[in-house]
Amino acid sequence: MIDRTLGALQVAALLVSASYGIGFLFGSGEYALQLGMGGAIYGIATGIGMLALALFAGRLWHARRNVWDLFGDRFGGGVGRLVALLSIVWMSGVLAAQIHGATAVLRLLDVPASWATAATVGLILGASRFRLQWASVFFSACLAGSAVVLVYALLRVDGTEIYRGALPEFVDALPSIGLVKSLAIAVGVGLLVCTGADYHQFVLAARDRAAAIAGTALAGFALLMLAFLPPAVVVASVASPTWSGVMDAKQAVPQALSIAARDFSALGGAVMLAMLGLAALGSGAAILRAMVSALDAAQADLTSLRPLTLAISALGAATALTLSGLPIVDTMVSVNLIYIASVGVSLAALLRSSSATVNPGEIWVIGAGFCGSVAGYLLAAITGSTGGGELTALATGLTSATVVRTALGQRRRRHLACRPSDG
């Protein structure tokens, strides 16, 4: 039973903390080196997704169960296990962001690239083997400390004017991002915020319906304000005489924070990098544990893999994503869209229908969505599509799932029509 005690401000604080992580920080900074204030697009998509979640936060709170629990209740345990398995897809993108982040920090500490990646993977695997509550608090404190230094870094390089003019600069930067890519990020990030059980847990813990709605809306507005902070710091820092450049755009934010932290102590830069690295490792370990839990829940009765084997498999998938060479945001969006394409049609049917009838073919619908989205990515790669691969994967996945669901529905109706009536 969920303990419903959180007020609106507490709900908002927890939702913001769940959103403000390495992907948010480092991914926005990486984009900022190329796109200026256009780097805020990931944070903007997160904030808009949170505001969309606020629109049905009241119904979610009243139902007392998150969307995916309702999904399993409606379509049966087999579908629930499949959805748990597919959740590995989007979580692998989040874990890849943590690997990117910790690797970028280690490279700033002059660790060679190959050793930095290997050390990050090993440390995340090791940390995931321990369930230490105090460690999660410490890692969160490191991330909170980086937020304080981020604000100081903005003031230090006279970036307040850049931050105040962030919105029009962001709008001006949108054409350089491109309509297709902007839509892919908006859908891939925003929809995942709406459907993520990690966000729903805080909505469900609100003391009443009003607190759930207000807290979620407050979090959305807070994230929209925070979205401009990392790119503003990077843009202002690059123009500063103290900027020494970076080897990799993923290092932009940790470099800016390291330079700012040196004002407090000669060792401040190294301490700041250590805090960021620990935050990435801690977040990575927590995500890896969640992936192992999802894989364990998805295991059929005939198989029973050991947790360490599951962890290595999950970590291997995320590591492969980091080796793709994509930016942090692109890495997360690409796998988010595969997940959304896989389950989107079934989710829409769940939210649209009030019937408790189990559809025995829902596994085929989800499977068709997954295969279609992967085929869409392959098609984009073969045809040399630039920038449209994500939306192609989403469109082909949703189309495949819709066709299969329609065909199964027609088959079921024909079967019922042919069945002799009682009496």
CA distance 225 to 220: 9
Q: Count CB-CB contacts under 10 A for residue 171.
A: 11
Cα dist from 134 to 121, 165, 292, whole Å:
22, 40, 21
CA distance 331 to 189: 11
What pLDDT digit, counting tens, does each position of 177-234 carry?
Answer: 888 889 999 999 998 888 887 788 889 889 999 999 999 999 999 999 999 999 999 9
What pLDDT digit, counting tens, does each position of 36-91 carry?
Answer: 999 999 999 999 999 999 998 888 888 787 777 777 777 777 787 788 788 888 88
CA distance 383 to 392: 11
Does residue 326 sit in helix, strand or coil? coil
pLDDT given at position 134: 63
CA distance 366 to 194: 19
**Exposed, middle or buried, 26 (CB in 10 Å: 0-12/13-18/19+)?**
buried
Evaluate if pTM is beyond 0.85: yes
Residue 150 pLDDT class (50, 70, 90 cuts): very high
Residues 6 or more apart in contact with residue 348 via CB below 8 angstroms: none
106's tokens = 């280690």
- Host H or E run for residue 145: helix 133-156
Beta-ladder partners of 206:
6
